[in-house]
Structure 1
Amino acid sequence: MFENLRRLRTEAGITCEQMAEYMGLETKSAYSKKELGQTRFTLAEARKVSEILGKSIEDIFYADEVS
Protein backbone atom coordinates (compact mmCIF):
# COMPACT_ATOMS: atom_id res chain seq x y z
CA MET A 1 0.00 0.00 0.00
CA PHE A 2 2.62 2.52 1.02
CA GLU A 3 4.81 1.77 -2.00
CA ASN A 4 1.80 2.49 -4.20
CA LEU A 5 1.16 5.79 -2.44
CA ARG A 6 4.80 6.84 -2.84
CA ARG A 7 4.77 5.85 -6.52
CA LEU A 8 1.57 7.79 -7.24
CA ARG A 9 2.87 10.85 -5.40
CA THR A 10 6.20 10.87 -7.24
CA GLU A 11 4.48 10.25 -10.61
CA ALA A 12 2.37 13.32 -9.89
CA GLY A 13 5.58 15.29 -9.25
CA ILE A 14 4.62 16.07 -5.66
CA THR A 15 7.20 16.08 -2.87
CA CYS A 16 6.60 14.95 0.73
CA GLU A 17 6.95 18.57 1.74
CA GLN A 18 4.23 19.64 -0.70
CA MET A 19 1.91 16.84 0.45
CA ALA A 20 2.36 17.92 4.05
CA GLU A 21 1.50 21.49 3.07
CA TYR A 22 -1.53 20.45 0.96
CA MET A 23 -2.82 18.30 3.82
CA GLY A 24 -2.29 20.98 6.46
CA LEU A 25 0.30 18.98 8.39
CA GLU A 26 2.87 20.79 10.50
CA THR A 27 5.98 19.20 9.00
CA LYS A 28 7.29 17.10 6.12
CA SER A 29 8.16 14.49 8.74
CA ALA A 30 4.51 14.22 9.79
CA TYR A 31 3.57 13.24 6.24
CA SER A 32 6.61 11.00 5.74
CA LYS A 33 5.68 8.97 8.83
CA LYS A 34 2.23 8.39 7.34
CA GLU A 35 3.62 7.37 3.96
CA LEU A 36 6.06 4.97 5.64
CA GLY A 37 3.25 3.38 7.66
CA GLN A 38 4.55 4.58 11.03
CA THR A 39 1.44 6.72 11.61
CA ARG A 40 -2.06 5.96 10.35
CA PHE A 41 -4.02 8.12 7.94
CA THR A 42 -7.40 9.29 9.18
CA LEU A 43 -10.33 8.90 6.80
CA ALA A 44 -10.33 12.67 6.24
CA GLU A 45 -6.61 12.56 5.39
CA ALA A 46 -7.17 9.62 3.01
CA ARG A 47 -9.88 11.64 1.27
CA LYS A 48 -7.53 14.62 0.97
CA VAL A 49 -4.78 12.42 -0.52
CA SER A 50 -7.35 11.03 -2.95
CA GLU A 51 -8.33 14.55 -4.03
CA ILE A 52 -4.71 15.67 -4.38
CA LEU A 53 -3.67 12.67 -6.46
CA GLY A 54 -6.91 12.44 -8.44
CA LYS A 55 -7.34 8.75 -7.58
CA SER A 56 -9.90 6.87 -5.54
CA ILE A 57 -9.11 5.88 -1.95
CA GLU A 58 -9.32 2.25 -3.06
CA ASP A 59 -6.76 2.78 -5.83
CA ILE A 60 -4.34 4.40 -3.39
CA PHE A 61 -4.77 2.49 -0.15
CA TYR A 62 -5.94 -1.00 -1.14
CA ALA A 63 -3.94 -3.64 -2.96
CA ASP A 64 -5.39 -5.42 -5.97
CA GLU A 65 -4.04 -8.70 -4.63
CA VAL A 66 -6.16 -11.49 -3.26
CA SER A 67 -4.64 -13.27 -0.29
Structure 2
Amino acid sequence: MRDWLLEIRKSKDLTQEQLANKAGIARTTYSMIETGERGVTVENAKRIAKVLNLKWTIFFEENVHVPCNMSRYLEAQKTHQLRRR
Protein backbone atom coordinates (compact mmCIF):
# COMPACT_ATOMS: atom_id res chain seq x y z
CA MET A 1 0.00 0.00 0.00
CA ARG A 2 1.19 3.48 -0.77
CA ASP A 3 0.36 5.05 2.58
CA TRP A 4 2.15 8.23 1.59
CA LEU A 5 -0.17 8.67 -1.39
CA LEU A 6 -3.24 8.22 0.79
CA GLU A 7 -1.90 10.75 3.30
CA ILE A 8 -1.15 13.35 0.65
CA ARG A 9 -4.52 12.87 -1.05
CA LYS A 10 -6.36 13.25 2.24
CA SER A 11 -4.31 16.31 3.19
CA LYS A 12 -5.57 17.91 -0.04
CA ASP A 13 -9.12 17.00 1.02
CA LEU A 14 -9.72 14.98 -2.14
CA THR A 15 -11.64 11.75 -2.59
CA GLN A 16 -10.24 9.07 -4.84
CA GLU A 17 -12.87 9.95 -7.41
CA GLN A 18 -12.08 13.68 -7.33
CA LEU A 19 -8.36 13.05 -7.73
CA ALA A 20 -8.90 10.54 -10.51
CA ASN A 21 -11.18 12.96 -12.39
CA LYS A 22 -8.64 15.78 -12.10
CA ALA A 23 -5.88 13.43 -13.28
CA GLY A 24 -7.97 12.09 -16.16
CA ILE A 25 -7.83 8.46 -15.08
CA ALA A 26 -10.47 5.98 -13.91
CA ARG A 27 -11.24 5.94 -10.19
CA THR A 28 -10.67 2.18 -10.10
CA THR A 29 -7.22 2.66 -11.63
CA TYR A 30 -6.34 5.31 -9.06
CA SER A 31 -7.68 3.15 -6.23
CA MET A 32 -5.55 0.19 -7.30
CA ILE A 33 -2.47 2.42 -7.55
CA GLU A 34 -3.09 3.87 -4.08
CA THR A 35 -3.61 0.45 -2.50
CA GLY A 36 -0.64 -1.07 -4.30
CA GLU A 37 -2.75 -3.59 -6.21
CA ARG A 38 -1.46 -2.13 -9.45
CA GLY A 39 1.78 -0.56 -10.53
CA VAL A 40 1.75 2.97 -11.87
CA THR A 41 2.76 3.91 -15.39
CA VAL A 42 4.95 6.93 -16.00
CA GLU A 43 2.02 8.66 -17.69
CA ASN A 44 -0.32 8.10 -14.74
CA ALA A 45 2.40 9.03 -12.25
CA LYS A 46 2.80 12.36 -14.06
CA ARG A 47 -0.96 12.95 -14.10
CA ILE A 48 -1.42 12.18 -10.41
CA ALA A 49 1.68 14.12 -9.40
CA LYS A 50 0.46 17.18 -11.28
CA VAL A 51 -2.82 17.16 -9.33
CA LEU A 52 -0.98 16.73 -6.01
CA ASN A 53 1.85 19.17 -6.87
CA LEU A 54 4.54 16.51 -6.49
CA LYS A 55 7.47 15.31 -8.55
CA TRP A 56 6.25 12.34 -10.56
CA THR A 57 9.39 10.37 -9.77
CA ILE A 58 8.19 9.92 -6.18
CA PHE A 59 6.15 6.96 -7.42
CA PHE A 60 9.34 5.11 -8.29
CA GLU A 61 11.30 5.75 -5.10
CA GLU A 62 11.82 2.79 -2.80
CA ASN A 63 11.24 4.64 0.45
CA VAL A 64 8.92 7.59 0.64
CA HIS A 65 8.65 9.37 3.95
CA VAL A 66 5.72 11.68 4.52
CA PRO A 67 6.51 14.41 7.03
CA CYS A 68 4.32 14.83 10.09
CA ASN A 69 3.56 18.39 9.07
CA MET A 70 2.02 17.65 5.68
CA SER A 71 0.95 21.22 4.95
CA ARG A 72 4.53 22.48 5.37
CA TYR A 73 5.81 19.68 3.13
CA LEU A 74 3.29 20.46 0.40
CA GLU A 75 4.03 24.18 0.57
CA ALA A 76 7.75 23.46 0.19
CA GLN A 77 7.01 21.29 -2.84
CA LYS A 78 4.92 24.06 -4.40
CA THR A 79 7.62 26.67 -3.75
CA HIS A 80 10.25 24.40 -5.29
CA GLN A 81 8.15 23.94 -8.43
CA LEU A 82 7.53 27.67 -8.78
CA ARG A 83 11.25 28.38 -8.58
CA ARG A 84 11.93 25.93 -11.40
CA ARG A 85 9.60 27.77 -13.80
TM-score by length of 1: 0.75
Aligned-residue identity in percent: 27
Q: Deviations over 1:31-54 (max 9, x none)?
A: 111111111111011011111111
Q: Which has the higher helix share?
A: 2
Distance of 1:19 and 1:64 partners within structure 2: 20
Map of 1:12 onto structure 2: 12
Distance of 1:42 and 1:6 partners within structure 2: 18
Aligned length: 63
Kindly report structure 1 stretches of 4+ aligned residues shifted beyond 6 Å: none
Q: Deviations over 1:2-41 (max 9, x none)?
A: 1001111110111101122122223x22211111111111
Q: Is the 8 A contact 2:9 2:15 kept in 1?
A: yes
Distance of 2:64 and 2:52 partners within structure 1: 18
TM-score by length of 2: 0.62
Distance of 1:18 and 1:2 partners within structure 2: 18
Q: Is the 8 A contact 2:25 2:44 kept in 1?
A: no
Which of these two proteins has the greater Rg computed from alpha carbons?
2
Q: Relative to structure 1, is the Cα distance of residues 39 and 11 closer, same or farther in structure 2, using a 3 angstrom cutoff?
A: same
Amino acid at match of 1:6: L
Distance of 1:18 and 1:37 partners within structure 2: 19
Gaps of 5+ in 2: 66-85
Give RMSD over aligned pairs. 2.0
